[in-house]
A and B are shown apart, each in its own frame.
Chain A
Amino acid sequence: MYIVIIGCGRMGSLLANRLSKQGESIVVVDKNESAFENLSAEFSGFHILGDGAEVDVLKQAKIEKADVVLATTKEDNLNLMIAQIAKEIFGVHKVLVRLFDTKREEIFSTFHIESISPTRIAVDEFLKKINLKGS
């Protein structure tokens, strides 16, 4: 699979490293050069220095050919914009975004954008552990 990841922070880089290790071909985009230091030595994909908010940068990453696009920058709005561009303009089938603000999940699910909320997942985990101890 050809996977484009926008945002090479802790989450983006971890995804990139793991997917690359699994043998997928990966392109990671980040606007900060230092972000690419998060990539492991085994990472065999490409990285592009640029702002994911610019269509030119997305084109450079050959987003139109991507099977999967993951938007994992730390800005919710940027992730949502990238996801819409990938889906609506470039016709990418599988697009996933990270959302910190859980309130937005519902709105953007109506746009058929799938999101993953680390906050929600973490809260669920916390609650699970508390309940276990309590029982």
Chain B
Amino acid sequence: MRTIIIGGGKLVYFLSKTFISKGYDVTIVNDDSQDCEWFAKRLETTVIKGNGSDLKVQQEAKAGETDCLIAITPNDEDNLISCQVAGKVFGIPKIISFVNNPENATLFEQLGINIAISPVEIISKLIEQKTEFEEITNLIPLAEGKINVTEIVLTENSPVLGKSIEELDFPREAIITCIIRNSSAIVPKGFTILKEKDKLILISIPEEYHKVIKLLTGEK
């Protein structure tokens, strides 16, 4: 896969490194000559110095033959225009923009960007959820935070112990995908009875997350 990454800093470095290790062909675009040198010394990529939203620069980065463009600069307006030029002029099929201001995520998608990722939103949600309950040990936001995968252990205080799953008033947009009991995995059915120390793997949308946690822990 041919990928262009516009931006700088550690994020671009590690992202590029990960992509290269997966066999992707990465081109980095950065407008600072020192940064460019730094990248060129450390990564086996093409590094182009220039403003990523410039037509000429994207041309030089072979945007016309590229599968994916990712814009990660600290300026949302530059990310937006880079992505729009990539899509409009070069027809790059997959365009991803980071947004520094979380409010811009939906805005960018409305303005035609395939995927707008807000690191602030994802991290703040993660921190919020992680710090809330100790028995919740693992959380991964998927699809830019539109889905939560949660691991939760039922304690002795849980109001659902001894109940079957079908007895629970479980929200529609959430599901128990797996129960780990005595280190073996159970695929839950409606009649499965929940027990203390069960570890549940949940998938839910963020809006239902708190409802599910409250239901299973009894806490607010």
Residues of A within 8 A of B77 (CB): 53, 75, 77-78, 80-81
Which residues A59-111 have CB closer than 8 A to chain B?
75-78, 80-81, 84-85, 88-89, 101, 103-104, 107, 110-111
Which residues B60-83 have CB closer than 8 A to chain A?
75-78, 80-81
Indicate whether B140 reaches chain A with its CB closer than 8 angstroms: no
> Complex Cα distance A104/B56, Å?
11
Indicate whether A123 reaches chain B with its CB closer than 8 angstroms: no
How many residues on chain B are close to A (CB under 8 Å)?
20
Residues of A within 8 A of B85 (CB): 107
Given A77-B53, A107-B89, CB of A55 within 8 Å of CB of B103: yes
By DSSP majority rule, is chain B's interface helix, strand, loop, or mixed? helix
B53:A55 contact, CB within 8 angstroms: no
Indicate whether A56 reaches chain B with its CB closer than 8 angstroms: yes
Residues of B within 8 A of A37 (CB): none
A54:B103 contact, CB within 8 angstroms: yes
Contact of B101 among A53, A104, A110, A111 (CB under 8 A): A53
List chain A positions with a Cβ less than 8 A from chain B: 53-56, 75-78, 80-81, 84-85, 88-89, 101, 103-104, 107, 110-111
Q: Give me 13 A-to-B residue pairs in the complex whose CB atoms sit less than 8 angstroms apart, sorted by A's number.
A: A53-B77, A55-B101, A55-B103, A75-B77, A78-B75, A80-B77, A80-B81, A81-B76, A81-B77, A81-B80, A88-B111, A89-B107, A111-B88
List chain B positions with a Cβ less than 8 A from chain A: 53-56, 75-78, 80-81, 84-85, 88-89, 101, 103-104, 107, 110-111
**Those 8 A-B pairs whose CB atoms lie nearest each other, nearest first:** A81-B77, A77-B81, A77-B77, A78-B77, A77-B78, A81-B80, A55-B103, A84-B111
